[in-house]
Amino acid sequence: MRLLVVEDDPDLNRQICAALTDAGYAVDRAFDGEEGHYLGENEPYDAIVLDLGLPKMDGISVLETWRRSGKMMPVLILTARDRWSDKVQGFDVGADDYVAKPFHMEEVLARIRALLRRASGHATSELTCGSVRLDTRSGRVSVDGNPIRLTSHEYRLLAYLMHHSGRVVSRTELVEHLYDQDFDRDSNTIEVFVGRLRKKLGIDVIQTVRGLGYRLNPPADAH
C-alpha cells in the first residue's frame, strides 16, 4: 500500500514517514501544498496524510481541488487547529478522518489502517484468504496458524492483494502501489516476489490471470 505525507514541518514529516515505513507501507513525502497537490493529482495513492497549515497552498484548498477533479483516495487531515469549525470545513470538502496535533503516532497508524480497510470493504484489521491470515495491526502473516516470515516487499504485495481479494490486479497497478516514488520500478520484480510468496505460503492462493495480472483466491478446498 502506497501513502503520501504532506507536512511542512521537516521533523514531523520524517517521523510520520518513518513510522508508516516501519508499518510496511511505501511512503512518498511533500513539504508544501503545491507539491502535495501535484503528487496527489498524478500518483495513485491508497491514502494521504494531509496537514492543513501548509505553505504555497493550504490543505483545505489542496483537498478541495483533489475532490473536484474526482480523486477518491482516503485523506486523513493532520493539523494543530482543533477548533470544531476547522474540522467541519475539512469534512465538508472531503476529508475522511481528522487528527489534531499533538497526537500519538499509534493513533495515526490506527486511523490509516481503518481508512484503508474501509476503502477496500473490510470490517476488521485481520484479513483472511483461506488459511492465510494477515494482521494489519501487527504486520504478522500466518498459514494455518503458523507464522510466515516475509520481507517488506513480499508483505506489501500480499497486503495489497488481500485488501483487493477476488479482483484481478495488474502488474502495473502493483508496481504503482508497492513502491515509493524514488524506487527503481521494474514490473519484472513483481513476478519474483509472487514466486517467493507462493513458496513461503505453501498453498495456491495467488492465481496468475494470463495477460492481465494476479488474483488472490482461496484454494478450492478452503471452507
Contact 143, 131 (CB under 8 A): yes
Q: Give the ranges where 26-104 is alpha helix by DSSP (H).
A: 33-42, 59-68, 84-92
222 vs 203, higher pLDDT: 203
> Which of these ranges, 3-12, 120-129, 196-205, has the smallest mean pLDDT?
120-129
pLDDT surpassing 80 at residue 182: no
Q: What does the pLDDT average to over 76-87?
A: 81
pLDDT, position 218: 74
Take residue 124 and report the three cell numbers written for it: 476488521
User: Is 223 contained in some domain?
Assistant: no
Same-domain status, 138 and 111: no
Take residue 57 and report the three cell numbers written for it: 497552498
pLDDT surpassing 70 at residue 220: no
220: region left, alpha or beta (phi > 0 left; psi from -120 to 50 alpha):
alpha
pLDDT, position 188: 72
Which of 112, 128, 129 minimizes the C-alpha distance to 45?
Answer: 112
**Of 119, 135, 158, which marks where a domain is finished?**
119
User: Is 96 contained in some domain?
Assistant: yes
Contact 4, 45 (CB under 8 A): yes
Domains in the chain, number = 2
**pLDDT grade for 221, boundaries at 50, 70 and 90:** very low
Contact 58, 130 (CB under 8 A): no
CATH for 167: 1.10.10.10
Q: Which domain holds residue 78?
A: 2-119
**Of 119, 153, 170, which marks where a domain is finished?**
119
**pLDDT grade for 162, boundaries at 50, 70 and 90:** very high
User: Is 104 contained in some domain?
Assistant: yes
Same-domain status, 17 and 69: yes
pLDDT tens digits, one per residue of 33-43: 999 999 999 99
pLDDT, position 222: 45
Same-domain status, 167 and 200: yes
Q: What does the pLDDT average to over 105-121?
A: 92
pLDDT surpassing 60 at residue 179: yes
Same-domain status, 167 and 184: yes
Same-domain status, 115 and 140: no
Contact 162, 197 (CB under 8 A): no
For the beta carbon of residue 63, count every other beta carbon within 10 angstroms: 26
Alpha-carbon gap, residue 48 to 100, rounded angstroms: 15
Same-domain status, 54 and 157: no
